[in-house]
Structure 1
Amino acid sequence: MEREYLIQKWLDHSLNAEELEAFKKLEDYDALQLLNRNLQKFKAPEFDKKQSLDFITKNLKPKKHNNWNIKWIRIAAILVISIGSFWYFNKNNNTTINTLASQKTNIDLPDNSNVILNSASNLSYNEKTWYTNRKVNLDGEAFFKVAKGSSFDVKTEKGIVTVLGTQFNVKQRNNYFEVVCYQGLVGVTYMQQPQLQLKPGESFLVIDGKTIKKEVQNKLQPAWITNKSPFKSIPYKHVLSEFERQYNVRFITKGVDLKQLFTGNFTHDNFEIALKSITLPLHLTYSKKNNTITLKRE
């Protein structure tokens, strides 16, 4: 078989078994494999056309009077440049939305799916590949209203949430992972465990590595959308963390048991009432200096 024919099929990843064996017998096989391994390590933001061409020229030195090797160098250079350009522009088609502390925002995705992003959260997706791969990356908390269509994935550090046209809330914070289904059916894959399916009103909650069972809820949306954060038997440290995100403050605690369970809520639009709501039930006193709040046991 002709070299050019085999090389072209190798570039297209379309070699059959017989052609693959013939391809392995080419005198340039080792050099081609070296090129392929280096392409796998390629990083788009560091892409340098001249450096890539120099690398190919150095590792595929043409033999005298061998026009095919010269032709291959040109093909390989074009290949590297093409792949680098594709990865670079594909990477830069990512859309990223960040919210600051005490900020929320509404996001319309390309297919008219809607996301409400909670405070101190980050969401990103690839607009160019959206209609073939509906996937978002989430760090923080968000409420989703997903338009019907192909599979829709929410990827977080701790797990992946997969849905087909539904409404759900995902919260991924430090040692806190929660998914609540409000409409439709939600599949949750947590830390490589078998997928768990949630029906409307059902939830999946893991705090500090421990799975917490919650009662079925009959609600249409999470409370934080209406500026309220409710808690039921939640370690106090997570209550303080949520308060910090909603009011852009920092807590210092003295003699406070951060593992004690808290049941209650606080509002997002009245600082004094909110602070009293999370301190009075536990008999804590507080003092505030700038954006730092010190809590003490009475």
Structure 2
Amino acid sequence: MDRETLISKWLNNELNDQELEAFKMLEDYDDLVKLSDGVQAFKADDYNTSAELERVLKTIKTTKKQPSNWVKPWMRVAAILAICFSIYFYTTTIDTKVTTEFAQKTTIELPDNSSVNLNAKSLLAFNKNSWKNEREVTLEGEAFFKVAKGSSFQVITKSGTIKVYGTQFNVKQRDTYFEVICYEGLVGVTFNSQETKLKPGDSFLIIDGKQIAKEKENSATPSWLNNESTFKSLPYKEVIAEFERQYHVTFKLQNIDANQLFTGSFAHNNLEVALKAITLPLHVTYSKTNGTITLKRE
């Protein structure tokens, strides 16, 4: 017996013992039961089919001028069913969303035991109910993925799509910055309808719409997992933007070229040490006023 027939008979309490066992084997059995419990508040008044039919027949015999009211109870039942299925489809299509704030990181376990480390000021969304058929997540920000073996796994960002052929990789998508680094296995990055395959140590970097060549990555994992941000010949504005996310501060630059390249790192657990790390190499001074830091070159 097909799924729709089983659900229909279940709604009408017409399942025999064998059909009930088949209904319990449905993949979304738990969701359907929860849905049934949740809509009890919408339940229509008790309706005696036999009594109502007898009343309708008597009405037909006594007069043909008055319109029949037999459809009204069925309209109530139809309305309840519509509400049931609306709630069901809403709950099965809604996404699970995880967000992080300034200076916050978190780890997410996906339904297939894949794990995602989410960096500060980021968002990850996925659908639990469709996961068995489509392993797909949407990312805004930065995340490190360890993907369990299985069917195709995709990460969708505003800048491009990452298709996973391996297991460990990092994705960073921030405004005009898009970077993917493969740490293990094989990763495919689709940007402007063209796919680039990355092997361990390979990177794909786009800044302001231009692809930037990078040296081979030698680390086993991204540095931010260890509370440190590392940069190799990247524009100073990217360093400042990451600093703001990790410390929830705002920068003002005076006489400083935001596009000059910076190589270095800063820790996420000590503001003063971190400030020195990004200013001393460039001979820049800084001053603090509340949550605003002014960087200045004399």
TM > 0.5 fold call: yes
Q: Could you tell me which residue of structure 2 aligns to residue 255 of structure 1?
A: 255
Distance 2:296 2:85 in 1: 59
Distance 1:257 1:79 in 2: 63
**1:211 counterpart = 2:218:** no
The 3-state SS of whatever aligns with 2:242 is helix
Aligned residue type for 1:205: L
Q: Could you tell me which residue of structure 2 aligns to residue 89 of structure 1?
A: 91
Q: Could you tell me which residue of structure 1 aligns to residue 196 of structure 2?
A: 196
Q: Could you tell me which residue of structure 1 aligns to residue 225 of structure 2?
A: 225
CA deviation profile, 1:31-75 (whole Å, cap 9, x unmatched): xxxxxxxxxxxxxxxxxxxxxxxxxxxxxxxxxxxxxxxxxx99x
Aligned residue type for 2:194: P
Distance 2:286 2:247 in 1: 15
Q: Could you tell me which residue of structure 2 aligns to residue 272 of structure 1?
A: 272
TM alignment of 1:152-191, pairs within 5 A:
152-191=153-192
Aligned residue type for 2:142: E
Distance 1:137 1:255 in 2: 38
Q: Could you tell me which residue of structure 2 aligns to residue 246 of structure 1?
A: 246
The 3-state SS of whatever aligns with 1:288 is strand
Q: Tell me whether 162-171 or 144-153 shows the greater mean CA deviation.
A: 162-171
Aligned residue type for 1:88: Y
State whether residues 93 and 129 of structure 2, in contact with CA within 8 Å, keep that contact through their aligned partners in structure 1: no
The 3-state SS of whatever aligns with 2:277 is helix
Distance 2:82 2:138 in 1: 28
Q: Could you tell me which residue of structure 1 aligns to residue 147 of structure 2?
A: 146
CA deviation profile, 1:186-216 (whole Å, cap 9, x unmatched): 010013x221110011010001111011122
TM alignment of 1:15-94, pairs within 5 A:
84-92=86-94, 94=95
Distance 2:228 2:258 in 1: 21
- Compute the displacement of 1:255 (Å): 1.7
- Compute the displacement of 1:281 (Å): 1.3
- Compute the displacement of 1:85 (Å): 3.7
State whether residues 150 and 164 of structure 1, in contact with CA within 8 Å, keep that contact through their aligned partners in structure 2: no
Q: Could you tell me which residue of structure 1 aligns to residue 100 of structure 2?
A: 99
State whether residues 165 and 188 of structure 2, in contact with CA within 8 Å, keep that contact through their aligned partners in structure 1: no
- Compute the displacement of 1:90 (Å): 2.6
Unaligned regions of 5+ residues in structure 2, if any?
1-74
Aligned residue type for 1:199: K
Aligned residue type for 2:91: F
State whether residues 146 and 164 of structure 1, in contact with CA within 8 Å, keep that contact through their aligned partners in structure 2: no
Aligned residue type for 1:158: S
Distance 2:188 2:80 in 1: 43
- Compute the displacement of 1:80 (Å): 6.9
Aligned-residue identity in percent: 59
Distance 1:96 1:284, change over 3 A: same
State whether residues 148 and 164 of structure 1, in contact with CA within 8 Å, keep that contact through their aligned partners in structure 2: no
- Compute the displacement of 1:292 (Å): 0.8
Unaligned regions of 5+ residues in structure 1, if any?
1-72
Distance 1:286 1:165, change over 3 A: same
Distance 1:129 1:85, change over 3 A: same
Instruction: State the aligned residue count.
Output: 234
Distance 1:237 1:251 in 2: 10
Q: Could you tell me which residue of structure 1 aligns to residue 23 of structure 2?
A: none
The 3-state SS of whatever aligns with 2:194 is coil
- Compute the displacement of 1:231 (Å): 0.8
Large movers: runs of 4+ above 6 Å: 76-80
Distance 1:189 1:81 in 2: 41
